[in-house]
Each structure stands twice: as structure tokens, then as C-alpha cells.
Amino acid sequence: MNKEQYINHFENLLDEQIKRAEKLSENKKEIQNKDKTVIGLVDGDGIGPIILESAKSVINFLLKDEIDSNKIEIKEINGLTIENRMKTGKTLPDDILEKIKSCDVLLKGPTTTPKGGTMESANVALRRELDLYANIRPVKIPEKDIDWAFFRENTEGEYVLGSKGIEIPGLLSMDFKVITVEGTKRIAKSAFEYAKNNGKNHVTIVTKANIMKKTDGLFSDICHKVAKDYPDIEVDEYYVDIISAHLIDPQMQSKFQVFVLPNLYGDIITDEAAQLQGGVSTAGSINAGDEYAMFEAIHGSAPRLFEEGIQDYASPASILRALALLLSHIGFYDKSKILNSALDKQLSKNENIKCTQFTENLINILKEGI
């Protein structure tokens, strides 16, 4: 490519992003109350089908009456696999996306993303297609008085053009980061509303606005503007490097409650936070928009377990935490609590067992009653 072609490429990206930002300001769709909730189970790659099988058994146990009375419908959606995506050349094959869109909420297994190249992550594409702008990741460590909720912006920042950068072979590469006013407003509002409705009085904004002056600068400004509508909530702002230090500082940890962050910082910081809680397999994640919500484990498809031949020992804990979040999202607060307590009990045994055995033991705990 010559210089003009790169400029052309950039101009197209700019037009595309201006259109996206303008569309975000348009009026939202009204959400209707439905008699039936459709839960889609998307298995994905690697250990996805193994851990989804566990989630299916737990759903069938916990929601048996609701499924029988047709209040809940379960739709299994298979084939969001790397093989299928390579074959169709589409990150989200059309038939699968259509099935996904026919559900209200989704429980999704991990999907593999090749490093480099131009194949986009299925996660990122789904978040964009379903406009799942809020990635909410709770981390709780009661014995350390830690009860955090991370509100990670999920559709823009470093991710929106992550596979559309410029490469001049042998010379340089350039990626782009995009932050919009509306995109920031809606994630900031979600974080402050959550704080207000959950008895929290402290929201921390995380940026690197001293370096990413334009994008993080805008993120910071908008978050502070939104904060003005919540005068009872204390607001502070930290740069992402120092917050990653504070999160592991016993003197500081319990001071934080709710965080709001741009996409990539949210990705990194939530893995750190999950590790403090016991590892990425212990945390669930909500991807919420105004129309759909998708729940997933925060870990990947675990190719290493396959290399070592121990994939059957994959832990379903994270996807089951995600299921607990899903249950509470659709109004089954008690069932969500019961599942979390059963998981606490099962995990406290620290057993190295197969996924199928973990599920069986967990269902036995549920049957005995918590």
C-alpha cells in the first residue's frame, strides 16, 4: 500500500466511527416485558462445550418448574467455533448470529481468537453486534472486606478498531483507540446507577489521561459530568498503573467499591482483581446492553488443557458464577444465591476432579439444600 491508500483507510475508519458515534445518540428502543425468557446456551471452543454441559445440568435442575411451565425456554446454540468461523470467513456466521438474536439472555462459553492476523475475536464482535456496552465484573473477598464491582466499557476504546490498524511492513504498525461521548455517558451512568441502587457511595474512575490525553481525557471529563447527577456518591480518579498497585495494597483495598474504566484497562484490571479472589476461574462476567445480556466465564478456551490431555478436568466454576449472575439478572435472586452458596461449598473442598464429577457433586449439594 502507498501513503494515499493508508490515508484512505484511515478516512474510512473515521467516517465509520463518526457514524457510530452519531447513532449512539439516537433514541433507544423501548424494552417490553415478556411472558417468556429465552436463554441461549452458546458453547464456543475448547473447554466451552465441556463447561456448558455442566451449566445445562444445573439450569435443568434449578429452573425445572419454569422450563416445564414454559416461562423459560432453553435454546442450545452450537457451532460458534473457530473451525466454523474460519470456514465461513465470518467472525459470527449468519445462522448463528440469527439464533443468538432470537434469545433474551445468553450464557456463552469461551471462544478462541487467533493472535495477529485480521480474524476478529467472536467476543468482541458479539459485544458490538448486540451492543453489550457494559461489562460488569464483581469481585468479592469477604474476609478482606473487599466487595468490588467493575464497570468496564465494552464496545469501544482500544477494541473497536483492534483488527483494523495500519501496518507498514518492516517499518511500523499503528492501532487506533476511539472513545465517544455517548459511549462513555452510558457506561458511567450504569456504574453510578449501580452504586446508587446498591447502597454504595464511592465510584473510582480509572484512566491514563496524562498520556492518552484525547481519549482518556474525554472519558474522564464525561464520567465527572455524569457524577454531578449523583451528589451523594464520592468520586475519585486514579491512573491505571497506580490503581493496579492499590488493588493489591491491604491498606487500600477495602476503600474501593465501584470502578468505571475504558475497555482495555478494564480487561487487565479485572483479571488482576479476579486473581485476588482465587483466580480467573472463580469469576463471572456480565455483558449487558439495553436489549440483550450475555454472561460468560472470564477465562479463555484453555488450549493448554487439551495439550496436556486434561481437558475433562476443566473447572466449570467461572461459567457457573456467570450462570448465577444470569439468574439474578432475570429475577431469580434466591436461585442465584443458592447456586453461589453451593459453589462456595463445593470449591472449599479444593478437589481436583473432572468437570462431570464437579457438576454431580454440586447438584447433590443443591439437592441437600443449602
Per CB under 6 A, residues contacting ligand IPM are 113, 121, 123-124, 267, 298, 300
Q: What would the grid cell of residue 49 be?
A: 462445550
Report, in Å, the least distance between residue 66 CB and ligand IPM. 28
- By beta-carbon proximity to Mg ion, the closer residue of 266 and 289 is 266
What SS3 class is residue 288?
strand
Size of the chain, expressed as the number of residues it contains: 370
Report, in Å, the least distance between residue 137 CB and Mg ion. 9
Of these, 267, 274, 285, 288, which contacts Mg ion (CB under 5 A)? 267
Residue whose C-alpha cell is 459485544: 127
Q: How are the residues of the chain apportioned to helix, strand and coil, as percentages rounded to the nearest 5?
A: 50, 20, 35
Number of neighbouring beta carbons within 10 Å of residue 351:
11
- By beta-carbon proximity to ligand IPM, the closer residue of 227 and 286 is 286
- By beta-carbon proximity to ligand IPM, the closer residue of 179 and 298 is 298
Choose the stretch contacting Mg ion; rule: CB under 5 A; options: 28-36, 100-108, 232-240, 267-275. 267-275
- By beta-carbon proximity to ligand IPM, the closer residue of 100 and 235 is 100
- By beta-carbon proximity to ligand IPM, the closer residue of 57 and 277 is 277
Report, in Å, the least distance between residue 298 CB and Mg ion. 6
Choose the stretch contacting Mg ion; rule: CB under 5 A; options: 60-68, 262-270, 277-285, 357-365. 262-270
When asked if residue 153 is in the footprint of Mg ion (CB under 5 A), the reply is no
Q: Which helix or strand (DSSP H or E) is residue 220 part of?
A: helix 215-227
Choose the contact partner of 124 out of Mg ion, ligand IPM, none; CB within 5 to 8 A by kind. ligand IPM
- By beta-carbon proximity to ligand IPM, the closer residue of 112 and 359 is 112
Report, in Å, the least distance between residue 76 CB and Mg ion. 25
Surface-to-core class of residue 214, CB atoms within 10 Å of its CB (0-12 exposed, 13-18 middle, 19+ buried):
exposed
Report, in Å, the least distance between residue 247 CB and ligand IPM. 16
Give per-residue burial for 34-49: e unless 16+ CB within 10 Å, then b: eeebebbbbbbbbbbe
Using CA atoms, how far apart are residues 323 and 332, in angstroms rounded to an integer?
A: 11
Residue of minimal Cβ distance to Mg ion: 267
- By beta-carbon proximity to ligand IPM, the closer residue of 79 and 162 is 162
C-alpha distances out from residue 29 to 20, 32, 257, Å:
16, 9, 31
Number of neighbouring beta carbons within 10 Å of residue 31:
9
Report, in Å, the least distance between residue 270 CB and Mg ion. 7
C-alpha distances out from residue 214 to 205, 208, 211, 218, Å:
16, 10, 9, 6
Report, in Å, the least distance between residue 267 CB and Mg ion. 4
